[in-house]
Amino acid sequence: MTVEIKQSPEGVLTLTLQRADKKNAISLAMYRQLTGALQQAERDAAIKVVVLQGSASCFSSGNDLQDFLSAGDLNANHPTVVFLYQLNAFSKPIIAAVAGLAIGIGTTALLHCDLVYAAPGCRFQMPFSQLGLCPEAASSLLLPQLVGYQRAAQYLLLGEAFNTAQAEAMGLVNQQVASEDLLAFVADKALQLAKLPAAAVQQSKALLRGKIKRQAEKVITVELEVFGALLQGETCQQQLRGFLTKK
């Protein structure tokens, strides 16, 4: 199993990426598991909050690059595509616990989370240009909205990495939490949220995110068209092969 899915009696659904040998790169099977879990959480009134986490030392190295190499058509049924729309549409709160690496979708998924806590010294990076790709997960909308255009260009065009202190300063991360305390801290926050009146929490999220969510859905579609074309291009394919064969 590569995503561990655990539901607590208090209504917290914890999704833990567990693919340590590949730095928690997200495979197609993992996207399917994540989407299935979010759909289940959407249907089940007993689930109040979702926690998304990796290990205490690694969140995620992003999309599995081997899968990118053989991605084929990014149509509406592709597991990554289905996950992106589901994540954007999700109506209950999501809390992320980030440690170590948050690369590619490891960072852009955080733009859809309601609360993000991170260990000191994380590496956040969206190296889409370096790979011959473009932004995804509506990051071309959500990141400039969060950090301003020029800062977003620094991270999305240059693909520069940033650390936890910078992520906190820009508002992507709520708070830094020592690595050894991170998962327990986030579990406690999730419990706090799960104990609040569920309708009030969900309606509040809908008010906070409703408008941007509708815009983000359209942007995801536009991004995917460009992303899909770039992915098939020789530049991107060369970068991917280079990464996968460099060892």
The answer to the question of residue 65 lying near ligand COA (CB under 6 A) is yes
- Residue from 49, 51, 71, 101 touching ligand COA (CB under 6 A): that is 101
Output the smallest distance, CB 75 to ligand COA, in A.
19
The CA-atom distances, in angstroms, between 22 and each of 25, 56, 63, 166, 235 are 6, 15, 11, 26, 24
**Tokens found for residue 222:** 């536009």
Decide if residue 23 touches ligand COA (CB under 6 A): yes
CA atoms within 13 A on the CB side of 125: 18
Which one of residues 15, 25, 111, 216 is an interface residue with ligand COA (CB under 6 A)?
A: 25
DSSP β-bridge partners for residue 124: 102, 162
Secondary structure (DSSP) of 210-224: HHHHHHHHHHHHHHH
Which of 104, 143, 162, 220 forms a contact with ligand COA (CB under 6 A)?
104
Beta pairing, strands 101-103 & 12-17: unpaired
Amino acid symbol at 213? K
Q: Least CB distance from residue 231 to ligand COA, whole Å?
A: 10
Shortest separation between residue 218's beta carbon and ligand COA, angstroms: 21
Binding mask 118-137 for ligand COA (x = CB under 6 A): ---------xx--x------
Which residue of 2, 57, 66, 221 would you call a contact of ligand COA, by CB under 6 A? 66
Out of 16, 35, 63, 164, point to the residue binding ligand COA (CB under 6 A). 63
CB of 186 to ligand COA, least distance (A): 22
Alpha carbon distance 166, 232 (integer Å): 33
Q: Which residues lie closer than 8 Å to 196 by C-beta, 6 or more apart? A: none
Q: Which stretch binds ligand COA (CB under 6 A): 5-13, 19-27, 153-161, 205-213?
A: 19-27
* Residue 225 burial (C-beta neighbours within 10 Å; 0-12, 13-18, 19+): exposed
Judged by the rule CB under 6 A, the positions of this chain that interact with ligand COA are 22-23, 25, 61-66, 101, 103-104, 127-128, 131, 247
